[in-house]
Structure 1
Amino acid sequence: MTVKNEPVGNAITEAKKKQRANRLNSIRHCIENGVIKDFQGVFAIIRRTNLAPDLYMAPYTLRRKAEDPGQFTVYELLRFAELLNTPYNTMSAFVIQCLSNSRKSPQSNKLRDEKQDQTH
């Protein structure tokens, strides 16, 4: 029977925590600097299944809300902003940008139709 070496286990756990913190920090910087334009950019850095529990939602729910960002509640955006250690205004601006880029969003379709009507 082998005995698990605790210091090595702790080192691995600490390394994983540091890697996760670096990923979240990278997402924060990319969102603040406008590098990431949608949630697919977020999911390219950290997997949806790893991010969803921190936002207190299932991965399927996070995917559905990422496809239509208008479904995010204020409270969910607050949790996301807190997780990334960024102001709420930054997260809400990111979601609004995602909404304007999203073609599935009814609000986005309505805004696009209004713009087309104004040009004719």
Structure 2
Amino acid sequence: MSTSNGNPDRLEAALERLVDQIAMLAAYTVESTQKQDQAQDRLADQISMLAVHTVESSQKQEQAHQKFRADLVEMSKKQDQAHEKLMAELAEIRNITDRQTENVSLLVKIVDKLLPS
């Protein structure tokens, strides 16, 4: 090789260093791209797992909410039934008390008639 400054060895050595540096840069670029692709794949996997977990969690929460509502409805029905039974028993007690009051009143009248005045 000949150069205008007359130093072909220096130029050739510089070109070899430049070629080596370009090769190293190319290798580094390929390695970096591969690492970036791997990192993006891992991130995509994590996002996918998070999405699945979020959906499953939402479904479980909805199922728990539905069960809670069903339990509340059932408890409300039982409470209503107990209240109706209690009210029926109270009505029966009132009827018995009213009859006892009437009986006592009749007894008082009978005793009044039997006792000499």
Greater C-alpha radius of gyration: 2
TM more than 0.5:
no
TM-score, length basis structure 1:
0.27
> Greater helix percent: which structure?
2
